[in-house]
A and B are shown apart, each in its own frame.
Chain A
Amino acid sequence: MPDDAGVFRLRPDLALVQTVDFFTPVVDDPYLFGQVAAANALSDIYAMGATPLTALNLVAFPSCTLGAEVLSEILRGGCDKVAEAGAVVLGGHSVEDDEPKYGLAVTGVIHPDELITNHGAQGGDLLVLTKPLGTGILVTALKGGLLGPAEEKALGETMAALNEGAARAMREAGATACTDITGFGLLGHLREMAFNSGVDVEIEVAALPLLPQAREFAAQGMVPAGAYRNREHLAPYVEIVGEVTAADQDLLYDPQTSGGLLIAVPEERKDELLSALRREGISRPRVIGRVIGSGSGKITIRGI
């Protein structure tokens, strides 16, 4: 299984890190959608500890049915977010399509020795998650017209937030492995990290950071199809101990848009990582579990 982004060594002291991601709108506001798509695309660069330099827009757009104004708002959102990351949009490409899609191809750089992959987790490491779970469930509730203004605001903010500060914090604190949480959900990306690292891991439900109302909406059936696909694919590697409600299982498998970083860190440097994350403005970094030891990528979920 691959890492979050492709890496190409240019010189002994310099490697390119490249990634691409695009998707259909998750929110109605085109400017916010642009921001979210850009934060999501940049996230793969941050997950490897790299610094983004340049980006190219990828656009599919029904220019006959949606106005040019909508497209320019999407692009403005993307451009602003890329600028916030200290990178520049060099250009892009667009095609006609019935359904709008937007994303970016991003290029970053890193010293090859400083690369943080998803296969370096060690027995005894703690697992830290930097953003709350539940974006897929809240987007489903939003589509169903059930989301209140406070929850909608929290959803937009978390999806548009860059993982830049989290990446800086994990570099400082000597992270052993990292991945960003996106479409395969917490368990899908954790499974990749555990399998690639040759370890078994455990997660505690009682530690999961969640978006407001996410658990309630999961219990009300606001569960996206992707969560069911993730579960089907991952269930053979997951063992449940204690009581894990159906809603909590849905949250663990919920596909995330622009999710947080999942960072493995040696136990003795956990406090350093958490304070660095808080300094970076990440309000609820959580230790959600730990690496048990060598293994085949098995995940144990401890219930509540």
Chain B
Amino acid sequence: MEKHEEIVDARGLACPQPVILTRRALEAAEKGSITAVVDSEVARDNIVKMATALSCSVDVNRQGKDIYIHITKPEHFGTALEAHENLLFFVTSDTLGKGSEDLGRLLMKNFFYALTEQGGLGKVIIFINSGVTLACSGSPVLDYLYELQQDGAEILSCGTCLDYYRLRDRLGVGQITNMYTILEYLQKVPRVIYL
């Protein structure tokens, strides 16, 4: 017989009980997934927030008045960072080194070309300030970044910076991030290389 997954029936309960009960069930579940049933949108949104913060994947279905929230635990439950991310490239400019800007752009291209040779697995690349232009359409290294991402690298660009340079619509690779996430990566990834 198929093993039934745990169901948390939090219908009719006042905030914050639904999210508390779901979290407890999620922590207790050895592996796999649970389903929470609620009947309010506030409970739904709060449970989705909690599960997302714990890196779970979430699927929401409505059946009449009841809302079913199916939550699947990740392999590394409770940690936002993937365990294998061990090298962070913190790219603060669109040129590499101080001096001629033309030379700096060439050096940056050479750098990312060389990096593709090593593969992307375990690497995080964060772009801030004019560095974000490297992840946007028209960038000389966009193809290399795409390859690195395909290879397993995580690529993040600062949203405030994209807005400043009016490049949000032109982001070509990776995700948009914020200063909280950037700070978390700088503190948690064992090795950081500043460019």
- Chain A residues with a Cβ under 8 A of chain B: 140-141, 143-146, 206, 215, 218-225, 228, 241-243, 245-247, 303-304
Contacts and interface: CB of A to CB of B under 8 A. Distances in A.
Given A222-B16, A225-B15, A303-B160, 12 more contacts: A140-B15, A145-B20, A220-B23, A221-B48, A221-B50, A223-B42, A223-B46, A224-B15, A228-B41, A242-B160, A243-B179, A304-B179
A144 B19 contact: yes
Contacts of B49: 218-221, 223, 246-247
The range of chain B's interface size is 20 to 34
Given A140-B15, A243-B178, A222 B46 contact: yes
A232 to B, nearest CB: 10
Contacts of A245: 178, 180
A241 B159 CA distance: 9
Contact of A221 (B40, B46, B178): B46
User: Binding site of B, secondary structure by majority: helix, strand, loop or mixed?
Assistant: helix
A243 B176 contact: yes
Given A219-B49, A223-B45, A225-B42, A144 B178 contact: no
Contacts of B180: 215, 245, 304
A243 B16 contact: no
Given A243-B177, A246-B49, A221 B16 contact: yes
20 contacts: A141-B16, A143-B15, A206-B179, A215-B180, A219-B49, A219-B53, A220-B50, A220-B53, A221-B19, A221-B49, A221-B53, A223-B42, A223-B46, A225-B15, A228-B45, A242-B163, A243-B158, A243-B159, A245-B180, A304-B180
